[in-house]
Amino acid sequence: MSLYLKLAWRNIWRNKRRTMITVSSIMFAVVFALFVESIERGAHDLMVDNMTRFHTGYMQVQDYRYKNEPSLDNAFYYDNDISDWIGENGHRIAFAIPRIETYMLAAGEEQTRGAIVMGTDLAGENRLNDLSDRLVEGRFFDSGDATVVLGDGLAHRLELAVGDTLVLLGQGRFGMTASGKFEVAGLIRHPLRDMNNQIVYISLPDAQWMLSAEDHITALLVTPDHVRHTETVAEMLRSGFDNVELRVLTWPEMMPELLEALAFDRASTRVMMVILYVVIGFGIFGTILTMTLERIREFGILLSVGMQRLKLALVVFIETFLISVIGVLTGFVLGFFVILYFHYNPIHLGGDMEAVVQEWGIEPIMPAALAPDIFMWQGMIIFFLATVICLYPGIKIFTLNILNSARN
């Protein structure tokens, strides 16, 4: 076998141009497949990341009635006992953020709009989603200082600016009227367009006071130390809250419509990838076919001087197999740097596509995902295609007419 390997290796580099053309076809096929899969994975990860970081969090602790009836009447009492229990038992919990959320009428001097009022802890929000980095004007509120921060889309609709007064009017707990006047301390640009046009951030104590919900929250957002520990942490919390009227929901349970959209998009991507593999397969086959036809006379001479067809086919298969390995490995290296570049320099969408993407609540960018399984699966598929195609020269050798080939 070592002799066959030596012969195959020498034959590969006997015609460097032909070898480089074949290697290049496999290499660019790998790079293209990696890039397409990475962009698709990156878009999905970005969508999930935006929805979890800026809206639902990775998991929430809620009153068991809140999901079906998201009312302040179904807020739950949040005290130091719950916070301390999570701190003592949640060794895989990075932090937790108490929130109270409701819908209210927001009014400026002349305009009125519906708004999502979110009372929250600013320090926790910054750890979850770097909210302070989204500030475009003014400052953030301090706890209990009777100020708010608006999405700049909502501020534009209400014709409000920093320093103006915002009036909130709605319903508090148990049907009580809730209202308040707050100074606009700052404006943010929320990455989710719907949220940017509706969101009002207020400190948790101010929101609880206005809504007559002292020491109550509608949700406790729990962030694991790593995304892969989400289910583990959720099970731990469920066991801890087994005897109280609280339940734990992970982001897939809170956003089933997002999972359905992602599944549909993956299915369409799989169809596109199958078409891509067919194109790639024919491209590789074209180069292997050309290489084989160029060597028909060589094969005929070798067979005419007594070389066995099986041994010749084995040597040629090893040649094409080594070329496939070189092509896939070089594709990995080049693909890694291409994906790395677009991971840190995502493609920015513009024009109509930007508006469409923002309507879905996604930032108008297309980052590339860096994930080991992308390289593994794409490499395996392309390598399998190349290996199957590499059987063609062997088949040609076994069916070769020696007299006709020698005259070519």
Report the distance separating Cα 192 and Cα 197, nearest Å: 9
Are 266 and 233 in the same domain? no
Q: What pLDDT score does 154 carry?
A: 92
Q: Does residue 305 sit within a domain?
A: yes
Q: Does residue 249 sit within a domain?
A: no
Report the distance separating Cα 290 and Cα 169, nearest Å: 76
Q: Which of 72-81, 127-136, 312-321 has the lowest mean pLDDT?
A: 312-321
Are 164 and 17 in the same domain? no
Q: Is the pLDDT of residue 136 over 80?
A: yes
Q: Does residue 19 sit within a domain?
A: yes
pLDDT digits (tens, 9 = 90+) for 179-201: 999 999 999 988 777 888 899 99
Q: Which of 12-16, 52-56, 124-128, 374-378 has the highest mean pLDDT?
A: 124-128
- Confidence band, pLDDT 50/70/90 cuts, at residue 115: very high
Last residue of a domain, one of 244, 276, 301: 244
Q: Does residue 87 sit within a domain?
A: yes
Q: How crowded is residue 301: how many other Cβ atoms within 10 Å of its Cβ?
A: 13
Q: Is the pLDDT of residue 284 over 80?
A: no
The count of structural domains within the chain is: 2
Q: What pLDDT score does 356 carry?
A: 65
Report the distance separating Cα 298 and Cα 400, nearest Å: 12
Are 263 and 399 in the same domain? yes
Are 324 and 271 in the same domain? yes
Report the distance separating Cα 228 and Cα 248, nearest Å: 17
Q: Across the chain, what does the average pLDDT equal?
A: 82
Report the distance separating Cα 186 and Cα 134, nearest Å: 10
pLDDT digits (tens, 9 = 90+) for 310-340: 887 787 888 878 888 888 889 889 989 999 9
pLDDT digits (tens, 9 = 90+) for 38-72: 888 888 787 777 777 777 888 888 988 888 888 88
Asked if residues 108 and 133 have their Cβ atoms less than 8 Å apart, the reply is no
Are 79 and 205 in the same domain? yes
Give the domain range for residue 170: 65-244
> Residue 374: exposed, middle, or buried by beta-carbon count in 10 A (0-12, 13-18, 19+)?
buried
Are 161 and 99 in the same domain? yes
Q: Is the pLDDT of residue 360 over 70?
A: no
Are 291 and 359 in the same domain? yes
Are 95 and 36 in the same domain? no
The mean pLDDT value for 263-267 works out to: 79
Q: Does residue 238 sit within a domain?
A: yes
Are 159 and 10 in the same domain? no
The mean pLDDT value for 19-35 works out to: 83
Q: Is the pLDDT of residue 388 over 90?
A: no
Last residue of a domain, one of 244, 275, 307: 244
Are 369 and 269 in the same domain? yes
Nearest in space to 327 (alpha carbons), one of 319, 339, 316, 315: 319
Last residue of a domain, one of 198, 214, 244: 244
Say what the pTM is: 0.69
Are 277 and 171 in the same domain? no
Q: What pLDDT score does 365 carry?
A: 77
Are 307 and 279 in the same domain? yes
Tokens of 133: 């980095």
Tokens of 260: 């359905």
Query: Quick one: what percent of the chain has pLDDT higher than 70?
Result: 94
